[in-house]
Amino acid sequence: MAASSPTEPSTAVESTALVTGAASGMGRAVAERFLAEGWSVLGLDRDTTALDKAAAELGAAFRPVPVDITDRAAVATALGSPEHLRAVVNAAGIYPPTLLVTYDEAAYRRIFDVNVLGTLNVTAEAVPALRTAGGGSVVNFASIDAFAVSPGQLLYSASKAAVVCLTRSLAQELGADGITVNAVAPGWVDTPGTRAGGRMEQAVSGIPLGRAAQPEEIADWVWKLCHGTYMTGETLVVSGGVTVR
């Protein structure tokens, strides 16, 4: 009988996923998907009000972890040594608009600290628990803007391109530990944050499928990436066909 893959945990053993940005949007959709599959979820977010609301609605298997992911020491303290950790999903991200004529150092630090440094901090602090569990998966959130940049997203696009590169490097570094590292690059997704930007309705006309994705559709792909056996270092674009034009 073939040995089971380290990225395919047995249903007889509790499995835990760590999800950042879990209080809302795509992060919450990912948390809900893992919960529906019988996993426990460590939900990291710095918005304590939204996190408390999510915890009240999602039940005891969702364990809220209020923390600022840009502070590695705080992440280490908040996580401790989680048991049965088999998946890490770095979904937290921010996307304030920036242009060459409007950016400043504060905007640069804020965007790269959350989108890039936060991804590194969480992954670094979670990897020991993945090793203890015998391996697992990391899925980072990149963006279609890493490949087909949007007007007014100078620093956000650059930060997500960095996430794509980090994903490749981490895949090389962690492969020997039985840990796969991949990324998902969503296009337009119908979340409250995206709608608040006021550009989604116009953007939909340029999507071959004629609509934005639902958060649950992105969560489906994250779930699949967390259960691959021979795919690592890749970034899966889920954009409704935007890149075919």
70 and 117 Cβ atoms separated by less than 8 Å: yes
Q: In what order do the strands lie in the sheet with 235-238?
A: 62-66, 40-45, 16-20, 85-90, 136-141, 179-186, 235-238
47 and 20 Cβ atoms separated by less than 8 Å: no
C-alpha torsion sign, points 98, 102, 107, 108: positive
Of the candidates 42, 44, 31, the one whose C-alpha atom is nearest the C-alpha of residue 72 is 44
Catalytic positions are 156
3-state secondary structure at position 62: strand
Packed helices 154-174 and 118-132: angle between N→C axes, nearest 10 degrees: 20
Interacting residues of 163 by C-beta distance below 8 A, sequence separation 6+: 115, 116, 119, 140, 141, 142, 143, 146, 183
